[in-house]
Amino acid sequence: MKYDIEKDIKFLEKNGIIMGQWCDVDDDFYHNSPGISASGLKQIDKECPETYKHAKDAGPQEKTEALIVGNAIHKFILENDDFEDEFLFAPVDKKTDRKWKIFANEHKEDPQIILRAKDGEMLNGILTSLRRPKDTSGTNTYDGIVINKNTTREKAIYVVDHERNIIIKVKVDINMDGMFLDLKSTKNAKPDIFMKDAANLGYGIQAAFYINTARMAGEKANMFGFIAVEKEAPYMHSVIILEDNDIQLEMSKVNRLLDVYAWCLNNDNWYGYNGVDQASGAQPLFVVKAMPSWHRYALEEANNFEGN
């Protein structure tokens, strides 16, 4: 069945979203609304279109504790005024503790999610770290970037990619006059170590996709970076801006992934790990693959293989 993009555009407009303009949407609506996001592209890249489609069709899943805590960090740092509308802190850490059970029973009718007491310590520790003076003028990351007067937070934008006949979307944690920053909780915020994780986790795809989407909407998008925060004391953090050359290299990959998504959407063919012949739409029964090069080199060395 041919993809009906106009139907999705009308759905978004009915929900108050104007294509190509920054808007306020909550995370649940954003993740389940029409359009491909950076996380969707990363899943297609890491896995395949079929697993992306399966996850999309399955709809909202029960959130893991790690995801809940990650959402709490974002809310506490970026939208602190609304934090208590969504989260409560228990007086203890263990859910089996009598005090937890009493607290949970007292708030069983409340809509908020209950966090562990140690989560409150972590959130306050992260905020304290972000407020430590950083530059010679005494400016800190929180006042100088997060709540800077030139900063907007948690704004989304939906754009029609007319060439591919698809909708693309991003939700930017921090937009500081065209410099996009994503808040990432991590085990180690030291720039060299964090960037190794960033490469493995596809953060470069996210960076290029965000810049590309905003520019398609005619919005200012000059740089992309991260505020990396550690979740354990002393809650070190760093602010890292990606080099433009790296973003340009990632942009080629983003365009290839968007082509894949567009083909799948417009042909309603969500293929698996073995790929697809786009001309016929057929998926091969098998593929021929070599062993990893490091494995082959080890065998050649062990067998004194010299080659031809």
Give me the domain span that covers residue 82.
Answer: 5-266
Joined together, the tokens standing for residue 21 give 């303009």
Report the pLDDT averaged over residues 284-302: 90
% of the chain at pLDDT higher than 70: 98
The per-residue pLDDT for range 32-45, each reduced to its tens digit, is: 999 999 999 999 99
Query: How does pLDDT run across 128-186, given as a tens digit for each residue?
Result: 999 997 767 778 999 999 999 999 999 999 999 999 999 999 999 999 999 999 999 99
284 within domain boundaries: no
In a domain, 272, yes or no: no
User: 79 lies in a domain?
Assistant: yes
What's the domain count of the chain?
1
CATH of the domain at 107: 3.90.320.10
Q: Per residue in 2-28, pLDDT tens?
A: 899 999 999 999 999 999 999 999 999
What is the per-residue pLDDT for 271? 96
The pLDDT score that the predictor gives to residue 297 is 86
pLDDT of 207 reads 97
For the residues 53-70, what does the mean pLDDT come to? Answer: 90
| Distance from C-alpha of 275 to C-alpha of 117, rounded to nearest angstrom | 47
Judge whether 89 lies within some domain.
Answer: yes
Domain assignment present for residue 298? The answer is no
- Please check the confidence at residue 308 and state whether its pLDDT lies above 80: no
Q: What average pLDDT does the chain have? A: 94
Residue 282 within any structural domain of the chain? no
N residues, the chain = 308
Residue 135 has a pLDDT of 66
pLDDT of residue 306: 59
